[in-house]
Amino acid sequence: MRRKPILPRVWHFASFGAPGVVIYLCFVMAPILISFGYSLTNHNPFNPPSEFVGLENYKLLFQDEQFLTALRVTTILTVIVVVVPNLLGLGVAVLLDRKGWLYHALRSVFFTPVILSSVVVSIIWTKLLDDRGPVNDLLRAVGVEQPPGWLSDPDLALFSVASIVCWQMLGFCVVVYLAGLQGVPAELLEAAEIDGAGPVRRFRAVTWPLLAPSLTINTVVLLISAFKTYDYVKVVTNGGPGSGTTATIAFDVLATGLDANHVGYASAMAVVMLVIVATLTTIVLRFLRRREVDL
Amino acid sequence: MRRSFAWGAALLIAASLTGCTVGGGTSTSGGEISFLTFETPNLPPFYWDSAIKRVTDRNPGLSVKKLVAPSTDRTGYAKQLLQSGQFPDVAIAVDSAGFAESGNLYAWTPEELKDFQFPAANPIKGGHHQLPANTQTIPPIYYNKKLFADAGITSAPATWGELLAASEKLKAKGITPFTIGGGKEGFPSAMLLDGLVSVEVYGKTPDWLSQRRADKVKFTDPAFQQAFGKFADLVAKGYLDKTQVSRDYSATEAAFLNGEGAMYPMGNWFAASADAKKPSFDIGVFNFPSEDGKLVVPAYTGGGIVVNAKSPKLDAARKFALAFQLDKEQIDASVKADGLFPAIKGYTPPSDAGPVFKAGYELYKEAVAKNAVVNAFSWETADDGLLPGMKDKVYQAAQDVITGRKPVADACAFLDAEWAKAR
């Protein structure tokens, strides 16, 4: 039997894979490697030449109170953004998992914020949450004499920013859970009903395990989005009020790199952030994948 | 043959794409120069388009491609353009620090600066890289004459004591004495602090920030802490509303023009809005008062055009910059649109400039005549300016004191710590 020559086969696969590989190398791997390279220097674009400083930037980073504060802020924000849209999204998806024009319309309503620019969303919410904005006007109208300073109170501002992110991400979670719900076989639910399971039992025993892939997708997407939150913070609070109240690591990276011109140090921050996100994502993925069941 | 042709075409496309995006330097074509501008409520697209057209109409060889910074942070945007090899030929109101030291900005000759009133403003390593086109006083205090009258205040405060007394009267009437802001811009929360440091610290030690750069003084030194302490005193007495630190710049301005708050410490560019928007009350203006009433007026001269030293169209860029900044019609337009005080020899503002502008301009002229002008703290941009990245730290320190998160000593220590990191 005559074997097919190897070269055309290799060429066949390479021609399929090459564009993706090239794009990935150029736009993902190369920036990461360049950033890592910068992180080992004291690179300042306005003060060349840069010198190799080894791990000095990393050593300084973990003694830098501002970076540690940014890490704390980012962690709190991430926990809120991963938990709240997931929970609310599941609840809304269950409510909207019905047929009829009203439910279709409501799905669009919930999804609309996702397609808006985060900057536009931030501007809208800045106006709404202003001390003299509609939210506080409403509170005053119902008798609250001193409504909260949503964006000016250092104890509240981070939660306000987190709420804005949650509001925008809710629609995404709803859509993913709705897709998951529609993949749950009706016969399994009917069988459970015939066996005498009530709605809560049916959800817990049948629907919820089958929604595991949706939970995985939502959790990972939210985790990554929350960790790289920059635009909301930049537009809504500019990292304030005051020092270290809403400044995330991503915000700090840009401020240190672009405003203070310390590109080497900012690159070290970015590398640490990448390592944290990659580690967390891997752990979460491994944990959640174990829950997933095949039909 | 066909395959060779395809490979050749692919290589050409790849090469042309790479050439467009990497290290391309200025991206203008033909005789066109690129001009980085920015837009604000005072300076809408129409202002820039008209200004460019005026200059190009009078200089037929010039052709200009307008670029617009995506936010008011045009310096940050200029850095991005520089890093990506797209630094424009000409840019306006970009902080020249950093760009100048690294050799990216053209240094103007004394001959080219002969028509400017303060040709020696903002030296960086001995060179003058930004046309010293305008002066801004930062901050005078604008006030609502009706609210002052309602509180029984008959004259504008001239000393710190009189300012406190006026604030107390206003507060007793249920009027918020000062309108402040913050939000995404940050600077409206630090205007009072800027005024206090300029008047109290620079008034006695004009080169204080140069000394800070030389580590001869610190933010935690008594002189600076005392000025910051006066700011904290205003907060403690309830003359500022801490909830206002979330308000962005345009909302802050709107609040004052709507009659919320009696006094508004802001740069003199506010005069243009005040005159254009004509609120329901008269607006007065007074210089930021010192402890004993000694006249000290913080101001910044600069903000004009910078030229890319590596521009392939350097001559055209320089010609455009000078034509733009010295054109009488354009200067008049900038006075009306942005309330700037042109720093051009022999220039007089148009007679139909608004009353708030005229009042502020008279105060400034008096300060120049009496040699009472000092740098405006946190607005300097030259060798005696804050280190890169420190402006935001000043705004944060001010907000920490306003919101009660930090006492003055901690806020000053924070500034020293950030200064050490910014080096």
Tell me the pLDDT tens digit for each residue of B241-292: 998 998 888 889 999 999 999 999 999 999 999 999 889 999 999 999 999 9
Report yes or no on A31 lying in a domain.
no
Question: How many independent structural domains does chain A possess?
Answer: 1
How many CA atoms are closer than 13 Å to the CA of B414, on its beta-carbon side? 25
Domains of chain B: 33-136+301-366 (3.40.190.10), 141-266+386-422 (3.40.190.10)
Report yes or no on A267 lying in a domain.
yes
What's the pLDDT at B61? 87
What's the pLDDT at B23? 30
Q: Are B258 and B164 in contact (CB under 8 A)?
A: no
Is the ipTM here above 0.90?
A: no
Determine if the pTM surpasses 0.90: no
Facing A240 at nearest CB: one of B244, B391, B396? B396
Give the helix/strand (H/E) hosting B254. Answer: helix B249-257
R_g of chain A computed on alpha carbons: 24
Q: Are B403 and B180 in contact (CB under 8 A)?
A: no
Closest B-chain CA to A60 = B421
Report yes or no on A74 lying in a domain.
yes
Arithmetic mean of pLDDT over chain B: 89
For residue A111, the enclosing domain spans 65-290
Report yes or no on A41 lying in a domain.
no
Identify the band that residue A107 occupies on the pLDDT scale cut at 50, 70 and 90. Answer: confident
Closest B-chain CA to A66 = B418
Are A152 and B392 within 8 A, CB to CB?
A: no
Report yes or no on A12 lying in a domain.
no
Furthest-apart CA pair in chain B: how many Å?
A: 93
Closest B-chain CA to A239 = B184
Backbone angles phi, psi at A275, to 5 degrees: -65, -45
- Whether A164 and chain B come into contact, CB under 8 Å, resolves to no
| Residue B305, beta-bridge partner list | B92
Are B182 and A131 within 8 A, CB to CB?
A: no
> Which chain B positions have a beta carbon within 8 Å of A238's beta carbon?
183-186, 392
Are A241 and B246 within 8 A, CB to CB?
A: yes
CA distance B89 to B63: 12
Report yes or no on A278 lying in a domain.
yes
Backbone angles phi, psi at A217, to 5 degrees: -60, -50
Are A240 and B397 within 8 A, CB to CB?
A: no
Closest A-chain CA to B190 = A242
* Token representation of residue B24: 């391309």
| Best residue of A66, A243, A253 to probe chain B, by most B CBs closer than 10 Å | A243
Closest A-chain CA to B419 = A260
Identify the band that residue B1 occupies on the pLDDT scale cut at 50, 70 and 90. Answer: very low
Residue A27 burial (10 A CB sphere; 0-12, 13-18, 19+): exposed
Are A240 and B182 within 8 A, CB to CB?
A: yes
Specify the pairing of strand B297-302 against strand B373-375.
parallel
pLDDT score of B186 more than 50: yes
Closest A-chain CA to B79 = A258
- Whether A162 and chain B come into contact, CB under 8 Å, resolves to no
Identify the band that residue B3 occupies on the pLDDT scale cut at 50, 70 and 90. Answer: very low
| Best residue of A65, A126, A131 to probe chain B, by most B CBs closer than 10 Å | A131
CA distance A286 to B147: 65
The total number of residues written for chain B in this structure: 423
pLDDT score of B73 more than 90: no
Facing B405 at nearest CB: one of A154, A259, A262? A154
State how far residue B279 is from chain A, nearest Cα, in angstroms.
19
Closest B-chain CA to A146 = B243
Facing A240 at nearest CB: one of B79, B82, B245? B245
* Token representation of residue A110: 């919930």
Furthest-apart CA pair in chain A: how many Å?
A: 90
Are B403 and A241 within 8 A, CB to CB?
A: yes
CA distance B167 to B176: 8
Section B29-55 average pLDDT = 87
> Which chain B positions have a beta carbon within 8 Å of A48's beta carbon?
102
Burial A56-69 (b: 16+ CB within 10 A, else e): bbbeebeebebbeb
pLDDT tens for each residue of B28-39: 444 799 999 998
> Which chain B positions have a beta carbon within 8 Å of A241's beta carbon?
182, 189, 245-246, 399-400, 402-403
Report yes or no on A283 lying in a domain.
yes
Closest B-chain CA to A44 = B98
3-class DSSP state of B91 = strand
Among B145, B383, B124, which Cα is nearest to B259's?
B145
Facing A242 at nearest CB: one of B241, B399, B422? B399
pLDDT score of A114 more than 80: yes
Section B62-80 average pLDDT = 89
CATH of residue A238's domain is: 1.10.3720.10
Q: Are A174 and B268 in contact (CB under 8 A)?
A: no
| Best residue of B401, B403, B408, B423 to probe chain A, by most A CBs closer than 10 Å | B403
Closest A-chain CA to B402 = A242
State how far residue A196 is from chain B, nearest Cα, in angstroms.
56
Specify the pairing of strand B341-342 against strand B134-137.
antiparallel
pLDDT tens for each residue of A45-89: 887 788 999 999 999 999 998 999 999 999 999 999 999 999 999
Are B403 and A64 within 8 A, CB to CB?
A: no
Identify the band that residue B26 occupies on the pLDDT scale cut at 50, 70 and 90. Answer: very low
* Token representation of residue A180: 């998951």
Amino acid in position B205: T
What's the pLDDT at A294? 61
Q: Are B411 and B401 in contact (CB under 8 A)?
A: yes
Are B98 and A261 within 8 A, CB to CB?
A: yes
| Best residue of B79, B87, B176, B243 to probe chain A, by most A CBs closer than 10 Å | B243
pLDDT tens for each residue of B303-335: 899 999 999 999 999 999 999 999 999 899 888
What's the pLDDT at A293? 66
pLDDT tens for each residue of A151-193: 999 999 999 999 999 999 999 999 999 999 998 998 998 999 8
pLDDT score of B124 more than 60: yes
R_g of chain B computed on alpha carbons: 23
Are B244 and A48 within 8 A, CB to CB?
A: no
Give the helix/strand (H/E) hosting B245. Answer: none
3-class DSSP state of A216 = helix
State how far residue B283 is from chain A, nearest Cα, in angstroms.
23
Section B145-157 average pLDDT = 96
pLDDT tens for each residue of A207-230: 999 999 999 999 999 999 999 999
State how far residue A86 is from chain B, nearest Cα, in angstroms.
29
Residue bearing tokens 């491609």: B65
CA distance A104 to A177: 15
Section B80-90 average pLDDT = 92
Identify the band that residue B8 occupies on the pLDDT scale cut at 50, 70 and 90. Answer: very low
